Amino acid sequence: MKFYSHLIDRKIMGVNIGVEMTIGEYLKFAPKVIQKNEFQRRKVKSAGKTYDLLRKDLLNGCIMPPIILAVTDRYGRELDDLVQLAIQTGPAYDGWEAVDAIVERAMADNELLILDGLQRSLTIEGISANREGEASPAFFDQVIRVEIYVGLSKTGILYRMLTLNTGQTPMSFRHQLEILYYDYIDNSDLPNGIIVLKEVEEKRARGAGRYKYTDIIDMFYAFSTGTPMPYDRQALVGELREMDFLERYSYRADADDMRTLLLMYNDFITRVDVLSSGWAYQPEDDAETIARPFGASVSSIFARPQPMSGFGAECKRLVSNGSYARLEDIGGVLPGLRFSRDPTVAFDQLLTILNEIAQRAKKIGDAQRAYFQFAMRALLLPGSDTYLDLSMCWLKAQTDYEMMYA
């Protein structure tokens, strides 16, 4: 293995390291890197003929474009000081050996993320695993080039993933967020008994403080793009709102907006539950009984993607328009939430509004997401008539929603 190049990427404030290694050396860690991330894409079936051709070419000794990797957070922190010094020093930096040594340790520990070249990696792995033994010893000795990014923030990794995947089989922006943050939200690090449930656990997010990982991604996606609408999986990766997000999002090594959003939203639900004395839907108390209410408790209403994405999108809007200086400042006003009237009446009104939307909207989920953004705006916009009022914000949101969509 040979480290042959060190280039500073000032756009995303990281370093790109060029490495030459044999296919055999790459296979020592590549399969484990692929397997350990359950959100990574699998082999693209529609491109089967293309990758069949690649397999044949590899066996004949062809040269592939470099595979692009990034070092995970485990070694990212150790690399931060060295990378920042390299960026400040520029071409005269003489500490590359120390950086290379950490990268070698990351390889040995499989602490890498594939940014570009997953399908090529799967093809190589498939040749190696072929029971008929189609690969000769010369195949494993063949030299390939790998580029490894170090010192990137999650935003930097996201930027590179998006640009590297442009023009290929699209990996959706939402999918990339799932991958980047898969290991980032650790239940053991979350306060107040918050539990994040991932799909592989096959559990439902029932009860206070329990959230589905995919719903948290929806909330963060809404915050990132400024819209509560779900991602269209057929859209191109170059969609303008996603590129706008990358352009606007500055490099902040310590930023953790996803965690901040989750903790704030949990505080919001907890506050509402306490103020309503653990409200639960009682059909006999409702003048117009709803056959299938949106939710029957505070947690069952708000721990869903529609209100979560509405909250995320509106938080983005409130910070962008200067209503709050920072995302964290929104959390500072949540202790002031109040019911100006009977909480039961407020929730009955909310469920009635959501039921009416469900009966009239062509795309119910999208309509509910839009409504909840209006509701969060009515609730959290300083100076509004319904500011922090959990009784009146739902009616104000209904008026705004109908003006926009009626």
Same structural domain for residues 215 and 258?
yes
Q: Is the pLDDT of residue 144 over 70?
A: yes
**Residue 16 counted as domain residue:** yes
The answer to whether the beta carbons of residues 400 and 353 sit under 8 Å apart is no
Same structural domain for residues 358 and 214?
yes
How many distinct structural domains can be found in the chain?
2
Rounded distance, CA 108 to CA 268, Å?
Answer: 43
Per cent of the chain over pLDDT 90 is: 47
**Residue 172 counted as domain residue:** no
Same structural domain for residues 142 and 253?
no
pLDDT at 165: 57
Q: Is the pLDDT of residue 265 over 70?
A: yes
Q: Which of 93, 127, 152 is the last residue of a domain?
A: 152
Same structural domain for residues 23 and 126?
yes
**Residue 178 counted as domain residue:** no
Same structural domain for residues 50 and 189?
no
200-255 residue pLDDT tens: 444 555 667 888 877 887 888 788 778 888 754 334 334 445 555 555 544 343 34
250-261 residue pLDDT tens: 434 334 788 889
332-368 residue pLDDT tens: 999 999 999 999 999 999 999 999 999 998 899 999 9
pLDDT at 173: 59
Q: Is the pLDDT of residue 38 over 50?
A: no
**Residue 165 counted as domain residue:** no
106-132 residue pLDDT tens: 999 999 988 888 888 988 988 888 744
Owner of token pair 């063949």:
142
For residue 206, give both structure tokens: 């029932």
Same structural domain for residues 217 and 114?
no
Same structural domain for residues 332 and 208?
yes
Same structural domain for residues 124 and 239?
no
Same structural domain for residues 27 and 146?
yes
Beta bridge partners of 67: 146
**Residue 169 counted as domain residue:** no
Same structural domain for residues 9 and 98?
yes
Same structural domain for residues 120 and 191?
no
pLDDT at 203: 53
pLDDT at 238: 40
Q: Is the pLDDT of residue 197 over 50?
A: yes
**Residue 175 counted as domain residue:** no
pLDDT at 369: 95
pLDDT at 151: 84
Rounded distance, CA 56 to CA 34, Å?
Answer: 22
Range of the domain at 40: 2-152
**Residue 270 counted as domain residue:** yes
3-class SS string, the chain: CEEEEEEEECCCCEEEEEEEEEHHHHCCCHHHHHHCCCCCCCCCHHHHHHHHHHHHHHHCCCCCCCEEEEECHHHHHHHHHHHHHHHHHHHHCCCHHHHHHHHHHHHHCCCEEEEECHHHHHHHHHHHHCCCCCCCHHHHHCEEEEEEEECCCHHHHHHHHHHHHCCCCCCCHHHHHHHHCCCCCCHHHCCCCCEEECHHHCCCCCCCCEEEHHHHHHHHHHHHHCCCCCCCCCCCCCCHHHHHHHHHCCCCCCCCHHHHHHHHHHHHHHHHHHHCCCCECCHHHCCCCCCCCCCCEHHHHHCCHHHHHHHHHHHHHHHHCCCCCCHHHHHHHHHHCECCCCHHHHHHHHHHHHHHHHHHCCCHHHHHHHHHHHHHHHHHCCCCCCCCECCCHHHHHHHHHHHHHC
The answer, as to whether pTM is greater than 0.95, is no
159-177 residue pLDDT tens: 666 566 554 555 555 566 6
pLDDT at 399: 96
Same structural domain for residues 230 and 319?
yes
**Residue 297 counted as domain residue:** yes
